[in-house]
Structure 1
Amino acid sequence: METSKHQCDIKTYKDVVNKIENSRRFGNDYGVTITKKVLEKLSNPQKNLKFIHIAGTNGKGSTASVVSNILMESGLKVGLFTSPHLIDFEERIRINGKYISKEDVARLGKLLIDTDFQVGLTMFDYCLVMAILYFKEQQVDVAVIETGLGGTYDSTNAIGTPLVCGITKIGYDHMQILGNTLAEIASSKAGIFKEDTIVVSQMQENEALEVLKTAAKEKKVKEFDIVNKVDIEEIKNYKRTMIGEYQLENIATAKKICQKVFERIDFPAKDNIKIDNAIKRGIANATWEGRMEILQKEPFFMIDGAHNSNGVEALCDSLRNLYPGEKFHFIMGVLADKDYEEMVKLLAPLAIDFKTITPDSSRALQNENLKNYINELGINACTLNEIRDIKNNLLDDAKNIALGSLYFIGDIKKLW
């Protein structure tokens, strides 16, 4: 196999991660096209991989985590691929809850970097192909794959036909790429549908739902199932670690996805009692960092990865439910290409005040600009210069909530 010009430069785990993380965000071609070429060059390691494919605007990671946990509790060896990572690169690739080792990242990353694929890989391409190679080596029974962006042209759409497609809540995000309407965005998400697969979707706005139903018919999917209010209500009877009202629908979606998977593959827990127990244990043990995660209780400090208006709306609903009548000190760092104005307007009725920070990203909205917009709404806001300043600015008269960007939340977690 041909080697690339980077071969002599890449020697350690740190070199590999640095190279991958500094790769382009978007390629010169669609991700699905690039990944197909890369996988073909590697003799199609994804062949025979059984997998669940999850797309949506919000809730993908949480849903994928619960799916992985339930399947693991049923006795299967389960790979999980998600993005982005909050702290460590290895978070993106897991088997039965255990991160890929730094040694395996270095070994597989070096292989990919040293190979001349005749195409330019993005960071996401490197991560996805590394996961596929690792899952094949470790002989997983099934993998849970979260899309990166959209569906139709996403790199993950090169893997093949999934056992089950999961569609989480569809909302407005990445409009410059996916489209300006819910119908356009839903059409992109529906691009992961394949003939003979099963689709499980959360409840959607009618505009999005009609597109999903039409796509399901056109793609000749085997079954199209929608998570309903009864499914969601049932989750309240389960012991769970993941708090937040919005997690109820994510967990209900994961449960239904797993029930469909159990119908399609052989697995150790074959009778109904064992399946029910696997579902109960999987839900109880599932966690997803950075989603309504309480980092400390005095002063109270919670972080949440809400990074678009739909995510913020879900967070606000959960805060009202968990802490009725309370208002909060919000700490916000957001990317400039997000709908931050709508996010602030949703938070405003629950806000005592805001502290704004510039996230460590080339796409970041400057803290001063965010503060000025909040002030224009008649809400008190001030800036913090660095993330480390948060620790000395937490107040004890009300709960402190940080949100706005997964990158921002990840940088906060590094300090706790």
Structure 2
Amino acid sequence: MAVTSPRGSDLVLQRLMSLHPKIIDLTLDRMWRILADLGHPERALPPVIHIAGTNGKGSTQAMLRAGLEAAGARVHAYTSPHLARFHERIRVAGELISEEALTALLDECEAANGGVPITFFEITTAAAMLAFARTSADWTLLEVGLGGRLDATNVIEAPRLTVITPVSLDHQQYLGETVGEIAGEKAGILKRGVPCVVGRQEDAALEVIEAKAARLGVPLLVQGQHWHVAAEGGRLVFQDETGLLDLPPPRLLGAHQYDNAGMVVAALRHLGFGEDACAAALTRAEWPARMQRLVSGPLVELAGTAQLWLDGGHNPSAGEAIAATLDGMGAHPTWLICGMLNTKDVAGFLRPLAGRAERLYAVGIPGEANTLPAEATRDVARAEGLEAETAGSVAEAVQAIVAQDPAARILICGSLYLAGRVLQENG
């Protein structure tokens, strides 16, 4: 009898983690093998929108889903990583996958794999595609996990549309040391003749994307060339060759969300959706841990009259986006609680935040093998000009901050893994 308790899928996921000695091993060979063994579910998906890029993939997907669903469409969505529960990664026809369905799919994929090496991300991506192929929907949104060219999601022969969000330095150990090299990996999702919406890019990245598109005959819709987006008078103004749209501002906070929203509007307009869908995309999207104000839970109670914010950004571009968002939130003393992975550019992330925070409290990320020790984060923060101390936990840091400034604005940041733990512990 199938195990349907929350522990059922957890047990299978734990087993799947052991099927490959490397957490990340970029190749599509194992993915093609298991998809063949499963009957090629990737060939039976509803029309696919494939999203790659360094920053903004999740926010862009969330807005796309909101716009499509507002227009009456049933939408599958695949994203990673999850924050609190694995189920967040797989949304089937608008609903998070159920525990019973997830456990059954994972069991089926585990049996089909037969114990041979496969990465956790590959086999769980196969499970998502199996779920999507078996449930009727109008659209499938696939977010790339890492890179694009060799990512497990890059098995769709002819997506309806691709999207490349801003490319910057991250995961250099896998994708390349320069923005141009990384853009080459992201551009690996381009398919012959399939249009691609391209967000704001550095020149080096755009040159690579344009060259690949020219080779494949890919029509590009590039920000700053084929469409433009701006914040004007508290509204979002979008313009392309078909005209101008005056839309509400994005619900998701931060100046960078205007660029993300622009990609979404460009995509929806290209697909034939009207102004109502575009407005809904901006105003109805929800995406946790992206400048999210926590309004209830034990940590909020601990904070008392202080504001508690959460953001999972973790690379230099995210640091710049957070800094710009703080600048736009008005003058208010801001305190940081920061925990990061040892694979990240900690100095690059923290550098834009220097001068914008009263003090930083560095923490480790509980249960994460690759956490950077709090002392190391503190030392980097100090080297970048931030006053910094360590704390034994997020809760301990909150207590220390409110003891000094009961009306503080507290931002917990530095890692999606830390954000996930905070959301779990805060209920």
- Is the TM-score greater than 0.5? yes
- Equivalent residue runs for 1:8-407 within 5 Å: 12-21=8-17, 24=20, 26=22, 30-49=26-45, 50-116=47-113, 119-221=116-218, 223-228=219-224, 230-233=228-231, 235=236, 237-262=247-272, 275-296=274-295, 298-323=305-330, 325-360=331-366, 361-395=368-402, 396-407=406-417
Q: CA deviation at 1:281?
A: 2.1
**Quick check: 2:19–2:116 contact (8 Å CA) kept in 1?**
no
Count residues in correspondence. Answer: 395
Q: In structure 2, what is the Cα distance between the partners aligned to 1:397 and 1:214? A: 52
Using structure 1 for the length normalisation, give the TM-score: 0.89
**Quick check: 2:24–2:119 contact (8 Å CA) kept in 1?**
no
Moved more, 120-129 or 179-188: 120-129
Distance 1:170 1:213, change over 3 A: same
Distance 1:313 1:22, change over 3 A: farther
SS at match of 2:358: strand
Cα distance per residue 1:227-266 (max 9 Å; x no partner): 237324463631542111111111111121122233xxxx
Cα distance per residue 1:260-287 (max 9 Å; x no partner): 233xxxxxxxxx7xx3222222321111
Moved more, 291-300 or 165-174: 291-300
Cα distance per residue 1:39-86 (max 9 Å; x no partner): 111111111421000000000000011111111122221100000000
Q: In structure 2, what is the Cα distance between the partners aligned to 1:376 and 1:312? A: 16
> What letter corresponds to residue 349 of structure 2 in structure 1?
M
Q: In structure 2, what is the Cα distance between the partners aligned to 1:157 and 1:394? A: 45
> What letter corresponds to residue 244 of structure 1 in structure 2?
G
Distance 1:183 1:217, change over 3 A: same
Moved more, 353-362 or 12-21: 12-21
* Aligned with 1:410 (options 416, 420, 425): 420
Cα distance per residue 1:370-402 (max 9 Å; x no partner): 112323445321111123434433422431111
SS at match of 2:154: helix
Q: Which has the higher contact order (CA 8 A, sep 6+)?
A: 1
Using structure 2 for the length normalisation, give the TM-score: 0.87
Q: In structure 2, what is the Cα distance between the partners aligned to 1:391 and 1:331? A: 8
SS at match of 1:329: strand
**Quick check: 1:168–1:250 contact (8 Å CA) kept in 2?**
yes
Q: In structure 2, what is the Cα distance between the partners aligned to 1:23 and 1:407? A: 22
Unpaired segments ≥5 residues, structure 2: 1-6, 238-246
Distance 1:304 1:23, change over 3 A: farther
SS at match of 2:168: coil
**Quick check: 1:27–1:121 contact (8 Å CA) kept in 2?**
no
Q: CA deviation at 1:120?
A: 1.7
Q: In structure 1, what is the Cα distance between the partners aligned to 2:24 and 2:186? A: 21
Q: In structure 1, what is the Cα distance between the partners aligned to 2:106 and 2:251? A: 34
Identity, in percent, stands at 29
Q: In structure 1, what is the Cα distance between the partners aligned to 2:49 and 2:384? A: 44
**Quick check: 2:338–2:363 contact (8 Å CA) kept in 1?**
yes
Q: CA deviation at 1:116?
A: 3.2
> What letter corresponds to residue 307 of structure 1 in structure 2?
H
Let me know the Cα RMSD of the aligned residues. Answer: 2.2
**Quick check: 2:37–2:112 contact (8 Å CA) kept in 1?**
no
Moved more, 146-155 or 379-388: 379-388
Q: CA deviation at 1:322?
A: 2.0
SS at match of 1:158: coil
> What letter corresponds to residue 37 of structure 1 in structure 2?
R
Cα distance per residue 1:150-186 (max 9 Å; x no partner): 0111111112221111011100000011111111000
Q: In structure 1, what is the Cα distance between the partners aligned to 2:371 and 2:20? A: 17
Q: In structure 2, what is the Cα distance between the partners aligned to 1:318 and 1:134? A: 37
**Quick check: 2:38–2:112 contact (8 Å CA) kept in 1?**
no
Unpaired segments ≥5 residues, structure 1: 1-10, 263-271
